[in-house]
Structure 1
Amino acid sequence: MESISIKSKAKTELIDITGQIQQTVVSAGVSDGLAFIYVPHTTAGLTINEDADPAVRRDIFLY
């Protein structure tokens, strides 16, 4: 099992971890399968978004 650590800089922020996940999967030699991503911290969360529309980030913070 691999793990990565992410450090936040603000009370509320969105951090794109796509590159870190891709790098971890490649480094592990995985070419087929699923990546299980778990956030154990009680005040952190994980969301999946397409990141195509910049307004999505604004909407997440507003609503």
Structure 2
Amino acid sequence: MRQAIHHLPVNTRTRGLVEISHEVRAFVREQRIATGLLTLFCRHTSASLLIQENADPSVRRDLERYFEQLAPEDPERYEHDTEGPDDMPAHLRTALTHTQLSIPVEHGNPVLGTWQGIYVFEHRRAAHTRDIVLHLIGE
């Protein structure tokens, strides 16, 4: 049994989905582990991880609009605003999504469906560099 770990910096420009499938696949291939389990972990409380359709960009736009309605910026609605009016809505969006994903690895590749991509979901308006930890275990 072997293990590998990697910190993947992901630059976001603003609120929305950033696909990282290519970088994740490259990391898994470089490790030469044929069968195992890949864990991704987002080390932030205002960004998250999603597996979502990567063929039709309207899916991503609809998701972004949905979360804007679900947790809107509204200074009258929240007590917490330490980092600005988008701070608490970002925490709510993270609480409703995932900060960790587990993906099986088979034949040296992450096992994803035909239309599935791996995304960092930025919940803040400002640009950030998000640290995504990739941990692969297998043989």
Return the TM-score normalized by structure 1: 0.85
Farther-moved stretch of structure 1 (53-62 vs 38-47)? 53-62
2:13 matches 1:9:
yes
> Greater relative contact order: 1 or 2 (C-alpha under 8 angstroms, separation 6 or more)?
2
Q: Secondary structure at the match of 2:17?
A: coil
Give the match for residue 18 of structure 1. Answer: 21
Q: Secondary structure at the match of 1:60?
A: helix
Alignment match of 1:60 (pick from 63, 88, 94): 63
The count of aligned residue pairs is 62
Structure 2 unmatched runs, 5+: 67-139
> Which structure has greater strand proportion?
2
2:54 matches 1:51:
yes
Per-residue deviation, residues 6-48 of structure 1 (Å, max 9, x unmatched):
11111x0211100000001111222211110000111110011
Residue 55 of structure 1 aligns to which amino acid in structure 2? S
Residue 36 of structure 1 aligns to which amino acid in structure 2? T
Q: Secondary structure at the match of 1:23?
A: helix
**CA distance, structure 2, for counterparts of residue 49 and residue 35 of structure 1:** 17
**CA distance, structure 1, for counterparts of residue 17 and residue 48 of structure 2:** 10
Runs of 4+ in 1 over 6 A off after TM superposition: none
**CA distance, structure 1, for counterparts of residue 30 and residue 45 of structure 2:** 28
Q: Secondary structure at the match of 1:59?
A: helix
**CA distance, structure 1, for counterparts of residue 45 and residue 29 of structure 2:** 29
Larger radius of gyration: 2
Alignment match of 1:28 (pick from 24, 28, 31): 31
